[in-house]
Structure 1
Amino acid sequence: MMNGLIGVDRTDGWNGGKDMKKRPKLLITGANGFTGRHACNQLGIDYDITAVSRNYRTTESTKVDIRYFDLTNKMDVHRLVNEVQPDFLLHLAGQNHAAESWNNPIATLEANLMSTVYLLDAIRESHPVCKVVIIGSALQYDPNKNSSLTHPYGLSKTLQVQTAQAWAVLYKLNVVVAKPSNLIGPGGSTGVCSIFAKKIIEMERDKTEKVLKVNNLHARRDFLDVRDAVHAYNTLLRHGKSGEIYDITSGKSHSLHDIIKKYKTLALVDFEVESLFQPEDPPVDEVQPYKLRQLGWSTLYPLDSSLRDTLDYYRNT
């Protein structure tokens, strides 16, 4: 298994080719989240990282400068950008739970939309040469697919992406949007694969009944290893085209039934599966990451490895 440290092509002309010995400065928001912790660990080999988090939490990486800021505070954000003067910004912070957005729609808009507005405007004022990657969502509104808004979270991500694209056009900022699918892999996550893994480890430890209950076994999703996603974000930081939206996907969907079958072969305990809903397999529009592949990106972690690493993470936690 690879260690996840993704190298960067240093011949891409960063800093106009004027100082190729100097390591670029990367500002990562949401650094203590599931993806953020992987980003800090993987990208520290190529960047001087300033990691931003609202709440204190230890990090495995010793290569980052950790700052604690509230990104919904405009003055804090401007002070942060002015102090760091980043060459690159990977904006991972936000409120990522659709269900929670129903209870706190204003907080969701503040976390996802306003934090992005404050960051982009601070960059516009203090350091407009910074290259920015904003993380969108597969749940945002897509007018090309006859989709519709189904929760405040989707609204917040739609407005976030529209704002990022607008700042790229109106203020000539170098802003790229990444649109990831369902990220999986080792680390604390609220995704369905992590939920299954935690339950299975509880079964292995005889802490719960050996039954895995699932709402809909036939639900299909695109699953991508979080380490492959970080590799994709790094590719966009270096080579992504301003104003563009890039799909970050594996290009292949799997049903939850497929995931559970794989988990059953990896688990150290046998368990039953109960499905609360049994519809037919729904049609799936499998989104291919064509534009990202054209930049040289490819996946490194097959699904089985991601699920095995997820189980091992919870076994060791």
Structure 2
Amino acid sequence: MKIAITGAGGFIGSALRAYHQSLGHEVHAISRTLINEPGCYGHCISLHSEETYALIQALQPDILIHAAGRSSVPNSVTDPAADFNSGPPVVFQLLDALRLHSPKTTFLFLSSAAVYGNPAKLPIHEYSAINPISPYGCHKYQSELLVREFAEIYGGRSASIRIFSAYGKGLKRQLLWDVCQKAWGNNQISLLGSGNEARDFVHITDICRALEFIIGQSDLIGQPINLCSGISTPIQEVSQLIASHFPHQPSIIFSGVQQLGAPARWQGETSWLHSRGFDCSISIAEGVNEYVEWFLNTHQQKD
């Protein structure tokens, strides 16, 4: 297949790029900087420009995975305009380009569990109430509505994938990176929150496998699809697990200060994927072990 990936230089985008290359697909990497590597076609364009229409018309991809956009809740709170401009307007332009020039393309929009905000009850189903508590979550949901709008009015295969807390080696932000950075050479780690906050962590390998699985399904009609492990893990537990891999065993303290826009607890439920025979397979213990090993190897090489 011919697969185009926006945001191909980011954490999820680069993993998807490598994954689909390994399967022998023709991969087109769309990003702000040119990606030039064997077996991959790089396209350096602005998704806000008319270049998007020209590229879609030229490529006619079988699959377009939209992984571009800002991915920070705190940054969306401090700069909502930048978060919005990288979200719904770009999704609209991509959908419009497909409508005009490549209507047979399957479009997968990588959304977020942030659309749910603080859920009234767990686990969170695809039909749970939408109640975002950050600009990031609001803009993801606005983009989802565009995906649904185009599917209902113009047809075509599409879906919005609500990814929960993605992690894996190569990720240089968020909890695992923060804890590892602070544990490197320090005996004490200070983190925001109480430590009782919980997330549903989903490994990047499972994300790649799930997206491949979704592409193969016949009933993609613009619907949302949860992508998660189905297990809620407290931040304190994950942080201690990470710290246990460091020889000096740093202690962890929590400030009690809550991050604006951050939900208290997440636990997803994958009704759509599970009913079709797909489940995530990588445990948080296995994923953390891999991540810390990658982090330590990277930093020891620098030293």
Shorter-chain TM-score tier: 0.7 to 0.9
Q: Distance in 2 between matches of 1:295 and 1:64?
A: 31
Residue 271 of structure 2 is matched in structure 1 by 290
Deviations 1:145-181 (A, max 9, x none): 4553423222211110000011000111211111010
How far residue 94 of structure 1 moved from its aligned partner, in angstroms, is 0.7
- Is 1:199 the counterpart of 2:179? The answer is no
Partner of 2:15, secondary structure, is helix
Match of 1:51 in 2: 29
- Of structures 1 and 2, the one scoring higher in RCO (CA 8 A, sep 6+) is 2
Correspondence 1:188 to 2:167: no
Q: How does 1:101-112 map to 2 (within 5 A)?
A: 101-112=76-87
Query: Displacement of 1:275 after TM fit?
Result: 1.5
Runs of 4+ in 1 over 4 A off after TM superposition: 141-147, 282-285
Instruction: Work out whether 1:99 is the aligned partner of 2:74.
Output: yes
Per-residue CA deviations over 1:264-315 (Å, capped at 9, x if unaligned) read 3322222111121299xx9856321121122332223221121112112222
- Residue equivalent to 1:35: 12
Distance between the aligned counterparts of 2:130 and 2:154, measured in 1?
29
CA distance in 2, matches of 1:298, 1:141: 21
1:115 matched to which residue of 2? 90
* AA at the equivalent of 2:221: S
Gaps of 5+ in 1: 1-23, 204-208
**Counterpart amino acid of residue 266 in structure 1:** H
Cα distance in 2 between the residues matched to 1:57 and 1:217: 39
Distance 1:63 1:233 in 2: 20
**1:5 paired residue number:** none
Is 1:258 aligned to 2:253, yes or no? no
Match of 1:177 in 2: 160
CA distance in 2, matches of 1:313, 1:161: 34
Q: Equivalent pairs: percent with the same residue?
A: 20
Match of 2:122 in 1: none
TM-score (norm 2): 0.86
Instruction: Report the AA paired with residue 15 of structure 2.
Output: H
**Cα 1:243/1:250, change in 2 over 3 Å:** same
Q: Per-residue displacement from partner, 1:101-146 (whole Å, max 9, x unpaired)? A: 2333222122111111111110111110001111111112589645
Match for 1:88 among 38, 41, 63? 63
2:39 to 37, 56, 63: 63
1:302 corresponds, among 264, 272, 283, to 283
Partners of 1:285 and 1:111 in 2: CA distance: 25
Work out the CA distance in 1 between the residues paired with 2:167 and 2:241.
14
3-state secondary structure, aligned to 2:84: helix
SS at match of 1:199: helix
Q: Which amino acid aligns with 2:60?
A: Q
What CA deviation, in whole Å up to 9, does each residue of 1:196-244 have, x standing for no partner?
12322x22xxxxx311112221111100101101111111122152222
Contact 2:35 2:42 in 1 (8 A): no
Per-residue deviation, residues 1-22 of structure 1 (Å, max 9, x unmatched): xxxxxxxxxxxxxxxxxxxxxx
Comparing 91-100 with 150-159, which one deviates more in the overlay?
Answer: 150-159
Quote how far apart the aligned CAs of 1:33 are: 0.6
The answer as to 2:81 corresponding to 1:72 is: no
Q: Over aligned residue pairs, what C-alpha RMSD do you find?
A: 2.2
Distance in 2, matches of 1:146 and 1:120, equals: 25
- Equivalent position to 1:316, from 294, 297, 302: 297
Matches of 2:28 and 2:72 in 1, distance apart? 25
Q: Is the Cα–Cα contact under 8 Å of residues 29 and 36 in structure 1 kept in the other structure?
A: yes
What is the count of residue pairs matched by the alignment?
283
State how far apart, in whole Å, the 1-side matches of 2:4 and 2:142 are: 22
Which residue number corresponds to residue 124 of structure 2? none
Structure 2 gaps, min length 5: 120-126, 299-303
* Residue 250 (structure 2) pairs with residue 274 (structure 1): no
TM-score, structure 1 as length reference: 0.83
Given the alignment, which residue of 203, 207, 212 partners 1:229?
207
- Mapped to 1, the partners of 2:72 and 2:265 lie a distance apart of 22
Distance 2:83 2:240 in 1: 35
